[in-house]
Structure formats: structure tokens, C-alpha cells
Amino acid sequence: MPYITINGERCKGCGLCTIACPKKLVAMSETPNSLGFTVAVFSGPEMCTGCKLCAEMCPDVAIAVFKD
């Protein structure tokens, strides 16, 4: 089953990944990271197809996609 991980300390909260995900499985958190940015969070791993669009759009290279 595919899933993604988001490095919250690298994320600057641009939100491009939320737009890129065709299943809308990435959203913005309300809790800021140590730098004060609201970061992206992953929800609904059972619906992830592993398309990697979120990772490709991330300018901070904060998203990794895995396929088990």
C-alpha cells in the first residue's frame, strides 16, 4: 500500500502539495513547526495511489512517497 511521509521541519507551508494531490489527501495543519510555518499533513493512507504528484510539486523536498 503506498503512503507518503512529510518532513515537518523542511515544509514551509506553501500548500502546493494540497493542490497537486488528486485524492485531496494532503491538507495544511493548524499547528506550526519550530520555524512558525503551518505544515502539510497526510490523511487517508488507504486511498493513496502513490502517484508522487505531491512530492514532485514540493519545492522544499519535504515529501517522500513509498510503495510497499
Count of structural domains, the chain: 1
Q: Are 6 and 63 in contact (CB under 8 A)?
A: yes
User: Do residues 20 and 65 touch, judged by C-beta distance below 8 A?
Assistant: no
Which residues on adjacent β-strands are paired with residue 13? Answer: none
> What is the model's pLDDT at position 10?
95
pLDDT at res. 45: 82
Q: Which domain holds residue 11?
A: 2-67
68: pLDDT strictly greater than 90:
no
In this structure, what C-alpha cell is assigned to residue 51? 502517484
Q: What is the pLDDT of residue 44?
A: 81
Q: What is the rounded CA–CA span in Å between residue 34 and residue 17?
A: 20
What CATH number did the domain enclosing 14 receive? 3.30.70.20
Please tell me the predicted confidence (pLDDT) of residue 30. 92
Per-residue pLDDT tens over the stretch 14-50? 999 999 999 999 999 999 999 999 999 998 888 999 9
